[in-house]
Amino acid sequence: MLDRRQTLRIGALGGAALLLPGGARGAVARAADTPPFSLPLVVPPVKRPVRRTATTDYYEMTMREATAQILPGVQTPVMTYDGCFPGPTIRARPGRRVVVRQRNALGTEAVVHLHGAYVPADSDGHPKDPIAPGAFRDYVYPNLQPAATLWYHDHTHHMEAEMVFRGLAGCYLLDEPRWTGPPAGRYDLPLMLRDAQFDDQGGLVFTMGDARKRTVLLVNGRRQPYHPVAARKYRLRLINGANTRYFTLGLSDGRPMWLIASDGGLLPAPVRATGVTLSPGERVDAVVDFADLAPGSQLTLRNTDPNIGQPSDLMRFDVVRRAYDPSRVPPRLGGSRPDLGPATVHRDIVLGVNPTTGMSEINGRSFDMDRVDQQIKLGQTEEWRVVNSDVNPPIRHNLHVHGTHFQVIDRNGVPVSGHEAGWKDTVAIPNGGDVRIRVRYERYTGLYLYHCHLLDHSSMGMMAQSEVTP
């Protein structure tokens, strides 16, 4: 039973937002009324290691409360890694180990999970391994996997929805080796997308399951920012960091993007698209080219998800200068095509809300961290038929699997295409329909979670665990 839905208290700050100098009563209302695109985009700072050895980069981070200017002129209390909202970016390389010491200076337990990473089970951020207030934990990330856009976020038992909503999320980019290819450096932009709801004082309002009121759209922790760009190609690392919102992303003038990477890293070849849909937790890397635009031009990144009615703008790109552009999108990107071969084990995974109890469940059971839901043999391919049974009323769900990437075979019998044909760790499951995936664990044994990544659902029990055995 879910009985510990405590309310998180933002202690030191008393929960109330602080107004910036010049602010007064009504500042929040004025902020809400300011036109979109009045704040610049923040690119989260890249974290520096405290120490490097021949094999390993060591980092130290502190989880603590802070304030962030999400709305113009208002400081909102948030939960952060290192005071940043979202957290600082870690840039790592395949084959080079990273160790992150996470100190917990929050007034509450916390756990850090690196989403999309292959890590030993005791570094996966399982909710059974919380960091107590005042304590720390060293997470070891071997990075023995292809380059990819990963992200880290909280995974505290029953609390991940609220703690991620309040700010505990950041980017972890496993970079390709230097090569002449997609835009790099300042032309490689991580964009963490999400939504939020505020009270009259500018504080974040979290109500479990009440996603319809989260109508303010944030990119990298700011409401509808603008970003000055050069007339050249950019790599946008699009990360759906929202608790429950889906994004169908495209540019306002309908220009195409080249999708070059999925959750698991580079695709075999770029895919041209004018729109791409991401459910919570999914990532896609898209290259967009502004070269044909004169300085002074503006366009927006917009969400046209059919569930929202009107398209809504997430951020604006302002073309401010011309630029030399040596980057390119090569016809072969070097990513592998998922092919796990035939499966030896078949399973049904049913996601649904129990109509009598209201609990979110997988195969009729809500999460119990002391129960192993299934055992998987290391090195064996399994095929899972994942079903979303919530037809009436329709409720969206997806499936995220920890500790590996999977191959998506088909959705409602139709083979998937675009970025979904690449390696994935999160996939949308249609109402009343099914998705077949093939899953294999290659390296580590132990407990790995799988769950709906609409975090309000996982926090309410739509989560289970596999024990990977030798």
Residues within the interface to ligand C2O (CB under 6 A)? 113, 115, 153, 155, 281, 400, 402, 449, 451, 453
399 neighbors 349 (Cβ within 8 angstroms): yes
Please state the closest distance from residue 190 (CB atom) to ligand C2O, in A: 16
* 75 vs 68: CA distance, rounded Å: 5
What is d(CA 181, CA 327) in angstroms, rounded to the nearest whole number? 5
Among 63, 110, 219, 452, the residue binding Cu ion under the rule CB under 5 A is 452
CB 185 within 8 A of CB 231: no
Alpha helices in 13-169 (DSSP H): 27-33, 160-165
281 interacts with, out of Cu ion, ligand C2O, none, CB within 5 to 8 A per kind:
ligand C2O
To the nearest whole angstrom, how small is the minimum distance from the Cβ of residue 155 to ligand C2O?
6
| Nearer Cβ to Cu ion (242/454) | 454
Q: Is 333 or 455 the residue whose CB approaches ligand C2O more closely?
A: 455
Among ligand C2O, Cu ion, none, what binds residue 235 when CB lies within 5 to 8 Å by partner kind? Answer: none
Q: Which listed range, 35-43, 54-62, 115-123, 212-220, lies at the site for Cu ion (CB under 5 A)?
A: 115-123
With binding defined as CB under 5 A, does residue 402 bind Cu ion?
yes
Name the strands in the sheet holding 414-415, side by side, starting at the edge strand that comes first in the sequence: 360-362, 345-353, 382-388, 434-439, 406-411, 414-415
Q: How far is the CB of 224 from ligand C2O (least distance, A)?
A: 25
- Binding partner selected for residue 454 from Cu ion, ligand C2O, none, CB under the kind-specific 5 to 8 Å limit: Cu ion
Residue 457, contacted partner among Cu ion, ligand C2O, none, CB below 5-8 A by kind: Cu ion
Residue 115 engages Cu ion in binding (rule: CB under 5 A)? yes
Report, in Å, the least distance between residue 156 CB and ligand C2O. Answer: 11
Near Cu ion by CB under 5 A, which window of 127-135, 137-145, 163-171, 394-402? 394-402
- Pick one of Cu ion, ligand C2O, none as the site partner of residue 155 (Cβ within 5 to 8 A by kind): ligand C2O
Question: Would you state the torsion angle of the CA atoms of residues 439, 443, 449, 453, taken in this order, to the nearest 10 degrees?
Answer: -60
Query: What distance in Å separates the CA atoms of residue 303 and residue 309, rounded to the nearest whole number?
Result: 10
3-state class (DSSP) for residue 190: strand
Question: In the set 457, 460, 464, 468, which binds Cu ion (CB under 5 A)?
Answer: 457
451 binds, among ligand C2O, Cu ion, none (CB under 5 to 8 A by kind): ligand C2O
Residue 402 CB, nearest approach to ligand C2O (Å): 6
Residues 183-212 interacting with Cu ion (rule: CB under 5 A): none
Residue nearest ligand C2O, CB atom distance: 115
Dist. CA 227–CA 290, nearest whole Å: 13
Contacts of 119 by beta carbon, 8 Å cutoff, 6+ apart: 139, 140, 141, 142, 403, 444
Residue 30: other Cβ atoms inside 10 A: 14
- How far apart are CB 168 and ligand C2O at their closest, in Å? 11
Integer Rg of the chain from CA: 21
Give the nearest distance from C-beta 397 to Cu ion in angstroms.
3
**What's the rounded Cα separation, in Å, for the pair 102 and 345?**
38
Number of residues written out for the chain: 470
Total interface residues for Cu ion by CB under 5 A: 6
- Nearest Cα neighbor of 163 from 171, 173, 172, 153 is 153
Q: Between residues 112 and 271, which has the closer beta carbon with respect to ligand C2O?
A: 112
Gap between the terminal Cα atoms of the chain: 32
> Shortest distance, CB of residue 119 to ligand C2O, whole angstroms?
12
Peptide bond before residue 183 is cis, with ω within 30 degrees of 0:
no
